[in-house]
Amino acid sequence: MRARLYKLYDLLQRRLAPGLQNSQYSYKQALQMHSPQGGTWLDLGCGHQLLPDWMPSSQQDEANLLQKPQLFVGIDAHAPSLQKNNVARNLVVGNVEILPFRSEAFDLVTANMVVEHVRQPAELLGEVRRVLKPGGEFLFHTPNLWGYTTLTARLLPQRLKVWLVHFLQGREEADIFPAFYRLNSPATVKTLAHESGLEVSEIALLESSAQSAMLGPLVILELLLIRALRWKFLSGLRTNLIVVLRKPGNQANA
Query: Considering the entire predicted model, what is its pTM?
Result: 0.91
Gap between the Cα atoms of 36 and 48, Å rounded: 21
- Collapsing DSSP to helix, strand or coil, 151 comes out as helix
Phi-psi region for residue 124, left (φ > 0), alpha (ψ -120 to 50) or beta?
alpha
All domains in the chain, ordered by first residue: 2-145+179-246 (3.40.50.150)
61-86 per-position pLDDT tens digit? 999 999 999 999 999 998 888 888 87
- Predicted local confidence at residue 78, as pLDDT: 84
β-pair partners for 106? 132
Residue 239's nearest CA partner among 2, 12, 26 is 26
- Predicted local confidence at residue 252, as pLDDT: 47
The residues, ordered by sequence, that sit 6+ positions from 134 with a Cβ below 8 Å of its Cβ are 104, 247, 248, 249, 250, 252
Biggest CA pair distance of the chain: 54
**Do 92 and 73 contact (CB within 8 A), yes or no?**
yes
CB atoms within 10 A of CB 134: 12
When pLDDT is averaged across residues 238-252 and rounded to a whole number, the result is: 91
- Beta strand 240-246 with 132-143 is antiparallel
Gap between the Cα atoms of 81 and 190, Å rounded: 31
